Amino acid sequence: MVLLFKGILVIIFLKIFSDLLGLVTIGFLLDYIIEWAPLALIIIFQPEIRNVLEHLGRSQLLGRHKVLTVDEREKMVYEIVGSLDYLRKAKIGGLIVIERDNSLNDYIERSKKIYAEISSDLLISIFFPNNPLHDGGVIIQGDKITSAGAVFPTSDNLKISKRLGTRHRAALGISEEMDCISIIASEETGRLSLAIGGELYYNLSLDDIKIRLLDELRPKKVIISDEEEVEDENN
């Protein structure tokens, strides 16, 4: 990158120098180089440009799908925890992924669209054995169950216990790729886990999950100036 920047400076310097001395041929060649330089830069930096565009595509410019109120957030967590309580007792496997700042639309497009109100009964019925959508993951956007039967990339993290199955690896894999919350109910043990930011929190209690979800789903803090803080306190 530094060498490329130096090369651009050299070309600009030569162009100015040729114009001052009236070097027509050299000036013509430099004009030709400058004219095609943007295209050359696009070709050279194609991988980097692609990565940036993919990142922008995954990110939602307006933040989360929906900023939940306190009541909506608590109701959502209440319904999820209620379904997890049933799943763990019945030892039914389940994977719930909650979208945050990165859009999960790519995975929604390849899954069964639902777009329904979040309820523990609906979540339980989706993951109930022999249901066609049982093995996939549920995606939640805002306060809606957007889709079910979603397939996520599995993690290659070698630190994960070999005893953990595909559901845990998929939960961790999507959390490594996206800013989301993955909740797992183990079919074999009935244990509950969370995957956030590429970290797996295994064998959590219902209270642990409830507290963590309420905390993670809070709107991001807005930084305000000291003057605004003082003004708010006075009001």
Q: Domain map of the chain by residue range?
A: 2-44, 70-216
Q: Once rounded to an integer, what is the mean pLDDT over residues 36-42?
A: 67
Q: Once rounded to an integer, what is the mean pLDDT over residues 209-213?
A: 95
Kindly tell me if the per-residue pLDDT of 192 is higher than 90: yes
Most confident of 60-64, 65-69, 179-183: 179-183
Q: What is the pLDDT of residue 212?
A: 95
Q: Once rounded to an integer, what is the mean pLDDT over residues 115-139?
A: 93
Contact 126, 119 (CB under 8 A): no
Q: What is the pLDDT of residue 61?
A: 41
Q: What is the pLDDT of residue 6?
A: 61
Q: What are phi and psi of 180, to 5 degrees?
A: -140, 175
The pLDDT-based confidence of 17 (bands split at 50, 70, 90) is low
Other CB atoms within 10 A of residue 120 CB:
17
Q: What is the pLDDT of residue 24?
A: 72
Average model confidence (pLDDT) for the chain? Answer: 81
Kindly tell me if the per-residue pLDDT of 145 is higher than 50: yes
| Cα separation, 51 vs 47, whole angstroms | 6
The pLDDT-based confidence of 51 (bands split at 50, 70, 90) is low
**Least confident residue range of 8-22, 78-92, 183-197, 217-231:** 217-231
pTM confidence score: 0.68
Best CA proximity match to 100, nearest among 178, 26, 163, 25: 178
Other CB atoms within 10 A of residue 111 CB:
20
Kindly tell me if the per-residue pLDDT of 144 is higher than 50: yes
Kindly tell me if the per-residue pLDDT of 233 is higher than 80: no
**Region of residue 63 (left: phi > 0; alpha: psi -120 to 50; beta: else):** left
Kindly tell me if the per-residue pLDDT of 98 is higher than 90: yes
| Cα separation, 41 vs 36, whole angstroms | 9
Kindly tell me if the per-residue pLDDT of 62 is higher than 50: no
| Cα separation, 153 vs 149, whole angstroms | 13
Contact 97, 152 (CB under 8 A): yes
Q: What is the pLDDT of residue 41?
A: 66
| Cα separation, 114 vs 146, whole angstroms | 5
CATH class of 70-216: alpha beta
